[in-house]
Amino acid sequence: MESLNKSSQSGIKGLFASFVGFLRKCIFHVLSVGPMPTHIAFIMDGNRRYARKKNLKEGAGHRVGFLAFLSTLKYGYELGVKYVTVYAFSIDNFKRRAKEVQYVMDLLDEKLEELLNQKSILDSYGVRIRFIGNLSLLNESTRVATEKAMAGTAKNDKAVLLICLAYSSTDEIVHAVQEACNEKWNKLQEMDSNERGNDSILATRAMTHKECAIKLADLERHMYLSGVPDPDILIRSSGESRLSNFLLWQTTYCHLYSPAALWPEISLWTLLWAILNFQQAEAYLEKKKKLA
Partner 1 sequence: EDGEKSSCLDETQRTLEFLSISDGKEGTAKAASHLCTKYLEVSDEPTFTEESMGEALRAVGCGGPQPNLLLVYGPVRCHLGFPAWRMRYTVIV
Of 53-92, binders to partner 1 (CB under 8 A) are none
Cα 121 to its chain centre, rounded Å, is 16
Of 196-215, binders to partner 1 (CB under 8 A) are 208-209, 212-215
218 near partner 1 (CB under 8 A): yes
CA distance 163 to 42: 10
The site that binds partner 1 (CB under 8 A) totals a number of residues, namely 44
CA distance 180 to 175: 9
188 — phi, psi (to 5°)? -65, -40
> Which residue among the candidates 45, 171, 230, 232 is catalytic per the annotation?
45
Least spacing, CB of residue 183 vs partner 1, in Å: 10
**DSSP 8-class letter at 285:** H
Q: Of 71 and 245, which CB lies nearer to partner 1 in the complex structure? A: 245
Of 156-195, binders to partner 1 (CB under 8 A) are 168-171, 173-174, 176-178, 180-182, 184-185, 188
251 near partner 1 (CB under 8 A): yes
Among 199, 221, 198, CA closest to 210:
199
Residue 218 a catalytic site member? no
Least spacing, CB of residue 210 vs partner 1, in Å: 10
Please select the residue that binds partner 1; options are 60, 248, 261, 272, rule is CB under 8 A. 248
Of 117-156, binders to partner 1 (CB under 8 A) are none
Q: What is the three-state SS of 15-32?
A: HHHHHHHHHHHHHHHHHC
Stretch touching partner 1 by CB under 8 A, among 14-22, 116-124, 135-143, 279-287: 279-287
254 near partner 1 (CB under 8 A): yes
Cα 263 to its chain centre, rounded Å, is 15
Residue/partner pairs of 286-291 with CB below 8 Å, 24 or more apart: 288/253, 289/253
Beta-bridged to residue 129, according to DSSP, are 161
Please select the residue that binds partner 1; options are 71, 93, 156, 244, rule is CB under 8 A. 244
Buried b (16+ CB within 10 A) or exposed e, 160-184: bbbbbbbbbbebbbeebeeebeeee
Q: List residues binding partner 1 (CB under 8 A).
A: 168-171, 173-174, 176-178, 180-182, 184-185, 188, 208-209, 212-216, 218-219, 241-245, 248-249, 251-257, 280-281, 284-285, 288, 292
Q: Give the active site residues.
A: 45
